[in-house]
Structure 1
């Protein structure tokens, strides 16, 4: 089964998925295949996937020291299995996608709250250098993700035109911030 995981990783790379996705999705598929210890992919049914999905809700997290998996992590597993089995079906290795038509319950989403003005002021006052304050202003006012900020280059900031180019955003998207 490990060869399927490695071939899946190669497929994700060739399809242009991000490096993080190339690591995460095969790891999720590997966990699924090891959990069921299958001899072939043809043995996998929607019922088996449903049982695995239920197990994810009680499975201890490796990072949280025994706490349950987050809803987001469970969604990652479901997405990984959807992409994996769709790829298996399109490549002719499976005649039936066991994920098609399978309705798994939606896990709860944690709503995010914006920082209040006092916390933002505290954050800016904690910045030790002028460089840190400028970076905070840039990231906060433009709503950049950490990964987007890490990828910024000097040429992406057009001060004269008051533009910021985010060339590698979430999902490999690009955008211009005015």
Structure 2
């Protein structure tokens, strides 16, 4: 009897059950008749919504048509829907003017656009929560109430809480010439999360998944040089020095330039790519020549590679950068050099990779072996 493998998966962060089987027209037609069954164009797989009784429904619906292998299917905890919280009032004209002036001030101070977007968004939310209260009347209690009744009530992250405090503090000290005391809103301790890393074998599968030379070159360059997503998309053709085998990364995080070495295999791949695509200004351009490739399209390139390589981990582009650093450390590269390659200002940022490197841990003998 024909076999269908059932595996856990996600569709837009929603848990689903994937139905995996070699192409078979009869099975395809049978699966299409399942309630709420859909085709994922990126992962190239059929899926149904996850529920505790979904397996029983699948077994019943496909009885006599296919044998279901659910050995890799795991139970998933479905979070309860959060209670409804009233929406905030729209921003009034005066408050909008203040936010616009704050944005102009940030730009004049040459803050990064991502920081400007984060700070202005946090400040806008703060004003809306206060129902456009006159700025001269805003005090510490308002900030404390916002933290309790909005940030904590909606279970936003510790980093978001810090961003709001930073935005409000900066606005009132530089735009209103008075200080609120953000210390009353206790700064949450940031959770110490370890970076996500995949093995060299998994990296190889992802990089070799695409036959399209452009897609392969983009993912390969991120891993080969430990680049951030924005750094890859901002590379111009002139930034590549093939004779010196170096890549100049311009104005990355912290508005810093840095050089990273280009491996010979990457140079060969980029030469092959250039002959095919012939970019004009940026190394990787979108449908229109001279315009950068979009971030969303790059994310889709990775999703397609994961689907083709049958890797079910929620790998992101930044995982490739983390893996680059960790694999360097495991190969014996000095931590100071890794810091330079990644463009970290502080060595403490780079030191986190010592906690995920398994080379030294694998040498440790467990006392269990002596029992």
Partner Cα distance (1:152, 1:146) in 2: 10
1:77 — aligned with what? Answer: 164
Q: What does residue range 1-178 of structure 1 map to in structure 2 within 5 Å?
A: 1-54=95-148, 55-59=150-154, 68-88=155-175, 93-94=176-177, 96-99=178-181, 101-102=183-184, 103-178=186-261
* Equivalent residues, number: 165
Q: CA deviation at 1:34?
A: 1.1
Deviation at 1:109, TM superposition (A): 4.8
- Name the Cα RMSD after superposition: 2.2
Q: Residues 78 and 127 from structure 1, CA distance in 2 versus in 1: closer, same or farther, beyond 3 angstroms?
A: farther
Instruction: Give 3-state SS (helix, strand or coil) of 2:254's partner.
Output: helix
Find the structure with the greater CA-based Rg: 2
Deviation at 1:70, TM superposition (A): 3.1
Post-superposition Cα deviations, 1:132-152, rounded to whole Å, max 9, x if no partner, equal 323222111211111111111
For residues 247 and 135 of structure 2, the distance between their equivalents in structure 1, rounded to whole angstroms, comes to 47
Higher strand share: 2
In 2, Cα distance between the equivalents of 1:58 and 1:109? 23
Rounded Cα–Cα distance in structure 2 between residues aligned with 1:164 and 1:75: 35
In 1, the alpha carbon distance for the partners of 2:259 and 2:228 equals: 14
Q: What is the CA distance between 1:166 and its match in structure 2?
A: 1.0
Unaligned runs of 5+ in 2: 1-94, 262-371
CA shift in 2, pair 1:119/1:170, >3 Å: same
> Is residue 168–residue 174 contact of structure 1 (8 Å, CA) maintained in 2?
yes
Question: After the TM superposition, which of the residue ranges 76-85 and 24-33 deviates more from structure 2?
Answer: 76-85
Which protein has the bigger helix share? 1
1:166–1:175 contact (8 Å) kept in structure 2? yes
Q: Distance in 1 between matches of 2:206 and 2:230?
A: 20
**In the aligned structure 1, how far is the partner of 2:135 from the partner of 2:129?**
13
TM-score, length of structure 2 as denominator length? 0.41
Normalising by structure 1, report the TM-score: 0.80
Compared CA separation, residues 109 and 159, structure 1 to 2 (3 A): same
Give the secondary structure class of the aligned counterpart of 1:126. Answer: coil
